[in-house]
Structure 1
Amino acid sequence: MYTISNIYCITAIAVIGGGLFGFDISAMSAVIGTDQYREYYFGDTIPSDVQGGIISAMPGGAFVGSILSGFLSDRLGRKYSIQIGALTWLCGCTLSCASQNVGMLIVGRFVNGLAVGNCSAQVPVYITEVALPEIRGRLVGCQQWAVTMGIMVMFYIAFGCSYLAGTKSFRIPWGVQMIPAAILFFGCMFIPRSPRWLARKGRWEEAEDVLALLHGKGDRNHPHVKKEMEDIRSMVALEKNNSDATVWELFQGGPMLMRTHIGVFAQIWSQLTGMNVMMYYITYIFKMAGLTGSTVLLSSSIQYIINFVMTIPALYFVDKIGRRPVFLAGSTLMMIWLFINAGVMASYGHAAPPGGIDGIPAASWIVHGPASKMLIASSYLFVASFAATWGPAAWIYPPELFTLRTRGKAMALATCCNWIFNFALGYFVPPAFQNIQWKVYIIFGTFCLAMTLHVFFLFPETAGKTLEEVQDMFEQRVPAWKTNVKSRGSSTPASDVEGSAGASGSGTPVTDKDEYRLSQERPGAVEHLDKVV
């Protein structure tokens, strides 16, 4: 069978798995404010806790799906794991589209979540393992771009269907979501398997063939192919054994525990920015800002365009300036817009009548006049800040942190933490808007402040480094604020520490990093490496 060799085409197929989540977001956010949806499932009023349960069913399923993905990925490979996710998504969409009541809708969304959790965990792993270091960030970041594209495209489909009478207004959008999953499933038949996964399974000939296809135009003797094969061989030789990693292994030892902690929190913080709250419940927020009718949906669509467009420059500069500056700038800007929203609502708004606006108790606050325009503007600026920073970077960063053996399980763990927080927030936000109103923004603004401090002190720079060099950086315990982007062609050791004389910080020059590290950390391993290579 024909195998695609262009890395950008491979990425375009794989990231459809990320786009599934985007389709889900807008297929719900554009529907929950319509009369047809409310009348069919609820009657006159949408209970906040029930709507929160419907929204959170998807991330609840994604939590389970991301855990299972680690075992699937290690056993079957990244490519087949993604294909299983596509088939699961088709089943979930069928259930949602045919749902006759709230219970059936929740089950359908939970099954959709299994697919999203699987794909969101393993697509970044797959792209990380096939991409060159200098473009790895932008390629993995394409997953977030696919999410934003899915959000934007599906929102306008759902918006157009909102003018249809009866259940067609929401069943058609939920059914259309099956198309990208079908494309993903069949497209995966034409992309190569991960060369690093193949190497882990001892399939060295296949691994070298894939590297030659991707990075050497079919030439196994291409310098980059030979160098990458050497790195992979040395990494496999460093592994204690050839068995698959366990989840417990991620919590053993200082360097490994540090990587696990950072990878998990990169995903947790991306949820605690409040971005997905803005995506799912933006129609509620704009109702509180005084917008009515179709104006609510049209105004909401602007943020989806902003989200899509602002992700594009991030794909360029995340490899140029590094992950740390992107994280720090994003959390600081989002904190500012959240506190502005809280101040505007507290100073110029008032409580809505009992029962909320248009039968939605979560729309519990009213802001009119110029203040409402400020609320809408700062909401747009918040979305732009997230899209250009944490949106792509939170998916790029975690898979770069881990070793070959642990990457599949580690990304499953990090992603399941993302989804459990997504689940909790999806369920928490409607009652929170109903009960504490504008103070919700204070909570998320405080989270943004905390993540800024956390990133500065503990998140090291990984941009431009090979996956093997990132492991060296953690072993050497380099302080996060002393790490820099490694420029292309640099011979500086993996840590890239300002003013350091050597990677170990001791002033010892390291000319052969593999032999030096092996001889210092694991006596006798160099001889084993020589036999393997």
Structure 2
Amino acid sequence: MSLSDEKTSSKGEHEHQDFEFNRHDVAGVEYAGILGIFKSPKILGITSLATLCGFLFGYDQGVVGNVLVLQRFGADFPRVYMDASIKGWFVSTLLLGAWLGALISGPICDRIGRKRDIQYQTILFVIGSALQTGAVSEAYLFAGRFIAGLSIGSLTHIAPMYIAELSPANLRGALVALQQLSITLGILFSYWIAYGTSHIGGIRCAPDVPYTGPISNGEATFDAYNDVPAGGCTGQSEAAWRIPVGLQILPGIILGLGMFFMPYSPRWLVEVGRDEEAQQTLAWLRSKPVNSPLVIHEFIEIKAEIVTAREIREAHAVGKSGFAKVLQPYKELFSSKSNFHRLFMGCVVMFYQQFIGCNAIIYYAPTIFAQLGMDPNTTSLLATGIYGVVNTLSTLPAVFFLDRIGRRPLLMMGAVGCCFSLVVVGSLIAAFGKDWPNHKAAGNAAIAFVFVYDFWFSLSWAPIGWVLPSEIFNLATRSTGVSITTSTTWMSNFIIGVVSPLMLENIPNGGTYFFFAGFAILGFFTVYFLLPETRLKTLEEMDEVFGQQTSIQDKEVAERVWRNVSQAETTKLSSAQVA
């Protein structure tokens, strides 16, 4: 909102224009992307720690698929290893917990702040991971995954929001995209760690016992019920799966302890009435004096939005109490076309992020590569590790160029690239999948296009799925809105985790890949027709981007608040300059 329409003094008007000029001068396009990131080392350091939230999720994504094909794990938990349905539930128990964690995280995050919430969630994560690492029965294994899921769901809700609220507009997309880069690094580390530990004691449970399991690519496979000697495995050690599962505790501890040294979100500080601390935090984050026009202007924008949202929210909640008041933040998301548009886009982007199929491949990569003709005990795990490398490297262009190119072009390019790659893989499976040994070139081509698919997904839907929901909501609806959109990705992820092994096992002729390709097409048209560009917009400008229509009463409140806050802050600046 411009002050030119307000009945302010010419001095106040002039100062506001100076603030606006300075903000855009500093946050211009020339400082976006990788150059801007390295010009802001404090923000980069904070983001690097906060994105360990994503690393924890990525590590679990990667390690679970590798553990599921280890014969020693199969000997310890034969039902999980052999039954596609139980296997899907094993993967998805964490995702169900994450859905619940993300859904209930909003009010908690608003009450105790982003920083403290992250710390409490890391305690929960360590407990869940410890239960999985030491599991001696399915009950411990599943309970540990659910508890860790509660934590991961909350962390993936909080971290992008925390990063977005600390970041300047010109760097926000790149910095939140680092969340996805951290997820891919977690996947990469887990793939190669699991590949290395899979050789502890050998790659077979019992080298002297012949396989009697189902035939795959013309050869019998390991049967966890019948191919295990009476005294247990004589080859592969249980450390092969317990070490990679347990190592995720370390980054969880680092995250929890590191957050003691991180700042609170300035927007949350203003929300709870700690204005002076908020302004000092902004000054420190921007490496400017507290009375810098840039800092003053950003503080005015934040405080005006918060006070306006609070007064309007309180006016709408008059006469309401108890449960009705608790539901008010959720009702706000449906109170206007603009708010619902934002909620809808945040949810569908998260939905397509999962139903385009990337996590189906990540969770079951060793199984998929084995189905494409690779040895399930060796080369499929190696190919999975290479997939992790491609996944990580392909995320870097989004970090570098997201704030230059924009969200819409990358999402549409990614949808086209993913669709084409999936159709090629599905077609090759339909044509040659029943006889890979005699069609090695076709098998190699299918594997290559799995990597091509990963490239397109990793530079588009993967990072932007986290960036967009964290930036499109105004402060009055942000925590609740991001909570709902994050819970959408987890519920979608849960469904994919449950049904993917059944689809891969039971749908013939590459139908699973055509299924995911169809959603890529839908994603393209959804973005083309419904998503506005949010590149370089401040969080406070998103109402304008999404065409927020306010009532005359609400406009009067907003104008009055902006005028009062601006006058108060410019008076403080003038007094400081005189002093």
Structure 2 partner of 1:335: 419
**1:159-218 C-alpha deviation (Å, 9 max, x unpaired):** 11111233211111111110000000011001100001111122211111110110143x
Is the partner of 2:199 in helix, strand or coil?
Answer: coil
- 1:248 Cα deviation from its structure 2 partner: 2.6
Is the partner of 1:266 in helix, strand or coil?
Answer: helix
Is 2:445 aligned against 1:374? yes
Instruction: State how 1:317-396 maps to structure 2 within 5 Å.
Output: 317-350=401-434, 368-396=439-467
**1:485-522 C-alpha deviation (Å, 9 max, x unpaired):** xxxxxxxxxxxxxxxxxxxxxxxxxxxxxxxx897962
Q: Is the 8 A contact 1:212 1:220 kept in 2?
A: yes
Opposite residue 423 of structure 2, the aligned amino acid is F
Opposite residue 530 of structure 1, the aligned amino acid is R
Q: Is the 8 A contact 1:290 1:368 kept in 2?
A: no
Q: Is the 8 A contact 2:421 2:453 kept in 1?
A: yes
Structure 2 partner of 1:529: 562
Opposite residue 209 of structure 1, the aligned amino acid is Q
Alpha-carbon distance change, 29 to 525 in structure 1, aligned in 2, over 3 angstroms: closer
Provide the C-alpha distance between the structure 2 equivalents of 1:380 and 1:524, rounded to a whole number of angstroms: 53
Structure 2 partner of 1:48: 84
Is 2:295 aligned against 1:259? no
Alpha-carbon distance change, 69 to 520 in structure 1, aligned in 2, over 3 angstroms: closer
Is 2:522 aligned against 1:450? yes
Is 2:220 aligned against 1:137? no
Alpha-carbon distance change, 185 to 255 in structure 1, aligned in 2, over 3 angstroms: same
Structure 1 partner of 2:51: 15
Structure 2 partner of 1:285: 368
Is the partner of 2:313 in helix, strand or coil?
Answer: coil
Alpha-carbon distance change, 103 to 233 in structure 1, aligned in 2, over 3 angstroms: same
Q: Is the 8 A contact 1:345 1:367 kept in 2?
A: no
Is 2:242 aligned against 1:185? no
**1:393-424 C-alpha deviation (Å, 9 max, x unpaired):** 11111111101121111111000010001011
Provide the C-alpha distance between the structure 2 equivalents of 1:265 and 1:282, rounded to a whole number of angstroms: 25
**1:81-129 C-alpha deviation (Å, 9 max, x unpaired):** 1112211110111110111122321111111111110110110000000
- 1:458 Cα deviation from its structure 2 partner: 0.5
Provide the C-alpha distance between the structure 2 equivalents of 1:144 and 1:45, rounded to a whole number of angstroms: 29
Structure 1 partner of 2:193: 157
Is the partner of 2:263 in helix, strand or coil?
Answer: coil
Provide the C-alpha distance between the structure 2 equivalents of 1:476 and 1:116, rounded to a whole number of angstroms: 32
Is 2:545 aligned against 1:473? yes
- Give the share of equivalent positions with the same residue, in percent: 32
Is 2:394 aligned against 1:310? yes
Where do 5+ consecutive residues of structure 2 fail to align?
1-39, 201-235, 315-324, 567-579
Choose the corresponding residue for 2:93, options 57, 74, 84. 57
Larger radius of gyration: 2
Is the partner of 2:304 in helix, strand or coil?
Answer: helix
- 1:532 Cα deviation from its structure 2 partner: 3.7
Is 2:378 aligned against 1:294? yes
Instruction: State how 1:76-91 maps to structure 2 within 5 Å.
Output: 76-91=112-127
Choose the corresponding residue for 2:487, options 416, 419, 428. 416
Provide the C-alpha distance between the structure 2 equivalents of 1:253 and 1:45, rounded to a whole number of angstroms: 49
Is 2:240 aligned against 1:169? yes
Is the partner of 2:333 in helix, strand or coil?
Answer: helix
- 1:69 Cα deviation from its structure 2 partner: 1.3
Alpha-carbon distance change, 5 to 314 in structure 1, aligned in 2, over 3 angstroms: closer
Provide the C-alpha distance between the structure 1 equivalents of 2:372 and 2:463, rounded to a whole number of angstroms: 29
Opposite residue 394 of structure 1, the aligned amino acid is G
How many aligned residue pairs are there?
477
**1:407-466 C-alpha deviation (Å, 9 max, x unpaired):** 111111000010001011100011111211310111100000001000000111101011
Provide the C-alpha distance between the structure 1 equivalents of 2:496 and 2:80, rounded to a whole number of angstroms: 25
Alpha-carbon distance change, 302 to 5 in structure 1, aligned in 2, over 3 angstroms: closer
Alpha-carbon distance change, 370 to 123 in structure 1, aligned in 2, over 3 angstroms: same
Is 2:305 aligned against 1:235? yes
Provide the C-alpha distance between the structure 2 equivalents of 1:183 and 1:50, rounded to a whole number of angstroms: 33
Q: Is the 8 A contact 1:237 1:528 kept in 2?
A: yes
Is the partner of 1:461 in helix, strand or coil?
Answer: coil
Q: Is the 8 A contact 2:57 2:183 kept in 1?
A: yes
Q: Is the 8 A contact 2:126 2:252 kept in 1?
A: yes
Is 2:204 aligned against 1:204? no
Is the partner of 1:349 in helix, strand or coil?
Answer: helix
Which stretch shifts more, 232-241 or 435-444?
Answer: 232-241
Is 2:535 aligned against 1:463? yes
**1:234-256 C-alpha deviation (Å, 9 max, x unpaired):** 21232113698622321221111
Provide the C-alpha distance between the structure 1 equivalents of 2:364 and 2:307, rounded to a whole number of angstroms: 49
Is the partner of 1:463 in helix, strand or coil?
Answer: coil
In the TM superposition, structure 1's runs of 4+ consecutive aligned residues that sit over 4 Å from their partners are: 242-245, 517-521
- 1:25 Cα deviation from its structure 2 partner: 1.2
Provide the C-alpha distance between the structure 2 equivalents of 1:520 and 1:316, rounded to a whole number of angstroms: 43
Q: Is the 8 A contact 1:89 1:112 kept in 2?
A: yes
Q: Is the 8 A contact 1:288 1:366 kept in 2?
A: no
Alpha-carbon distance change, 524 to 441 in structure 1, aligned in 2, over 3 angstroms: closer
The alignment's TM-score, normalised by the length of structure 2, stands at: 0.79
- 1:375 Cα deviation from its structure 2 partner: 0.8
Q: Is the 8 A contact 1:268 1:421 kept in 2?
A: yes
Alpha-carbon distance change, 209 to 104 in structure 1, aligned in 2, over 3 angstroms: same
Structure 1 partner of 2:265: 194
- 1:44 Cα deviation from its structure 2 partner: 11
Q: Is the 8 A contact 1:92 1:112 kept in 2?
A: yes
Q: Is the 8 A contact 2:372 2:433 kept in 1?
A: no
Provide the C-alpha distance between the structure 1 equivalents of 2:179 and 2:79, rounded to a whole number of angstroms: 38
Structure 2 partner of 1:268: 351
Alpha-carbon distance change, 45 to 78 in structure 1, aligned in 2, over 3 angstroms: closer
Q: Is the 8 A contact 1:53 1:426 kept in 2?
A: yes
Provide the C-alpha distance between the structure 2 equivalents of 1:455 and 1:367, rounded to a whole number of angstroms: 42
Provide the C-alpha distance between the structure 2 equivalents of 1:528 and 1:173, rounded to a whole number of angstroms: 54
Provide the C-alpha distance between the structure 1 equivalents of 2:419 and 2:80, rounded to a whole number of angstroms: 36
Is the partner of 2:434 in helix, strand or coil?
Answer: strand
Q: Is the 8 A contact 2:80 2:87 kept in 1?
A: no
Q: Is the 8 A contact 2:56 2:183 kept in 1?
A: yes
Provide the C-alpha distance between the structure 2 equivalents of 1:44 and 1:256, rounded to a whole number of angstroms: 43
Which stretch shifts more, 123-132 or 35-44?
Answer: 35-44
